[in-house]
Amino acid sequence: MSDPFYAAFLSGESTTMMTRVYLDKSAFLKWTPRSGNVDFFLTAAITMVLLDMNDAIAKPATEWLDDITLAGQIEGGINANVSRPANGINFGQFFGDRANQAQLDQLTLTAARAVDTTASSYDVGFMVRGLYGAEGRYFNIAGITDRLMTSRYQFIVPQAHLDVHLPWLTRHGLDMQAGILASPMGVESLDPSLRPFYTLSYTTEYSTPFEHVGAMFQWHLTDYIDALFGVDTGNQVSFGGGDNNHTAAGYFGLTASSLANGKLSLTYLGRVGPENSTRSLGQRANSAQRYWNDLSGSYKISDRLTFTGELNFLHDEGLHANTYSFVSYLSYQLTPTLLLNYRGEIYRDDTGLFVTSFIANNAYMQATLGKPTVTQSAPPTTYGALTLGATWRPVLGHSVKLFEIRPEVRFDRSLNGTRPFNDLRNVGQFTFGADAVLGF
């Protein structure tokens, strides 16, 4: 998922509730480096960069400190379900997963210094963000914050990284981020101000990663094309007891921007590496690859209307499972403060091992590590989902940087006759959600 945009995945048997379920969130090459090498790689890369920079950074210390920004943001919402499922869960939804219950989704505090990615000299920045709220349950990282809280509201550190701009190789150079990173894959983001809807698509939740410990690079090849690559310990895992297998994973891809007279942008990202837990697959988990492929693009049809599309395919060797999907978005700027949004999705889970609701508060991270937990899942299903919504964003001024209210109506349906929704009773599910976001 990117914060660019991210999700975790189920490994083991398709189950209903109170069964052993193992979640482990993989184009096409074999790669099995030891995860311990990621630690060495990060240390070596950062040391090499800092030594090479010496005193080449253009800005003096006082000016550098003046560029540090502090920001906060709070989001709360509710997602109503007229069918009132007995387990209280809106099946297949991470944000707004608790039916008919208002909740604090996230309270974030961020300290950051952005780097100048166009500079001809070295530049160093950073970002540290803390988050508390219901959405922390799904963006936790094993071995870092997963044991701090087991309640509905949890504290996480979704981003804590060093950022460096390196004037190497090409005119626009190379950018590096190292530390705790948000996944760059996908269209939708953990940050509510960067996505059009309160809820997430199936593709974001189940077929893109969320968080990493590692390093990511963006090499500016030309004015319009960048190469993307990186290495990390895996999806939402870290080192030692915080890892679910002993092998690293990595990204590769290209992004093209300002095409078609500035109207079109395209991004392809691939990812490969084992993501399943040794607790569920044994030692085979260290070599069974997961292949992720995500192609997204955005086209500005007019000054008011924008189309975005996302095509995704995932294959997991350990689970012998595939998902494939297409998501389309339309955004129409009706007035300077009112945006109308559409999202349509077709998502195929051909084994029933991916689309899962996590009933217990710590179920998501327990499953990531291959530990028994309480979940609900469905048979192999082709899901269709239609979401319509609006974003009202008045300008309040003063110290309020952002205020927005986003109502939405969403209809999910099984397209092959299974009954995954509302306690496995219904073919379809209506939800009516809304959230409010305040940034300062």
| DSSP character string of 203-265 | HHHHHS--EEEEEEEEEE-SSSEEEEEEEES-TT--SGGG-SSSB-EEEEEEEEEEHHHHTEE
- What pLDDT is recorded for position 11? 34
State how far the Cα of 430 lies from the Cα of 55, in Å rounded to an integer.
59
d(CA 260, CA 265): 9
Note the pLDDT tens digit of each residue in 95-105.
999 999 999 99
> What is the model's pLDDT at position 52?
54
Tokens at 286, concatenated:
């260290």
State the pTM of this model. 0.87
At 24, the pLDDT band (50, 70, 90 cuts) reads very low
Task: pLDDT band for 137, please (50, 70, 90 cuts).
Answer: very high
For residue 343, how many C-alpha atoms fall within 13 Å in the half-sphere facing its CB? 25
Q: What is the pLDDT of residues 197-227, one digit of tens each?
A: 999 999 999 999 999 999 999 999 999 999 9
Averaged over 312-329, what is the pLDDT?
97
For residue 21, what pLDDT is reported?
32
Nearest to 22 by CA among 6, 38, 11: 11
Contacts of 266 (CB under 8 A, 6+ apart): 255, 256, 259, 295, 296, 297
Half-sphere exposure of 22 (CA within 13 A, CB side): 19
- CA 168/CA 352 separation, integer angstroms: 46
230-287 confidence digits (pLDDT tens): 999 999 999 888 888 989 999 999 999 999 999 999 999 999 999 999 999 999 999 9
- pLDDT tens string 146-159: 999 989 999 999 99
Do the beta carbons of residue 95 and residue 76 sit within 8 Å?
Answer: no
Confidence tier at 408 by pLDDT (50, 70, 90)? very high
189 vs 216: CA distance, rounded Å:
17
Q: What structural domains and CATH numbers belong to the chain?
A: 17-439 (2.40.160.10)
In single-letter form, the type of residue at position 92 comes to G
Is the predicted pLDDT of residue 291 greater than 70, yes or no?
yes
38 or 155: which carries more pLDDT confidence?
155
Task: Output the DSSP codes for 340-369.
Answer: EEEEEEEEEESSSSS-EEE-STTHHHHHHT
Q: Are 319 and 353 in contact, with CB atoms under 8 Å apart?
A: yes
**Cα distance between residue 86 and residue 77, in whole Å:** 21
Cross-strand pairs, 391: 339
Whether 71 shows a pLDDT value over 60: the answer reads yes
CB of 110 closer than 8 Å to CB of 70 = yes
pLDDT value, residue 417: 96
The residue-averaged pLDDT of 27-45 equals 49
Instruction: Inform me whether the pLDDT recorded for 132 exceeds 90.
Output: yes
Residue 303, pLDDT score: 96
Q: Which residues contact 30 (CB under 8 A, 6 or more apart)?
A: 289
pLDDT digits (tens, 9 = 90+) for 80-124: 999 999 999 999 999 999 999 999 999 999 999 999 988 889 999
pLDDT band of residue 367 (cuts 50, 70, 90) is: very high
d(CA 381, CA 189): 25
Structure tokens at 67: 């560029």
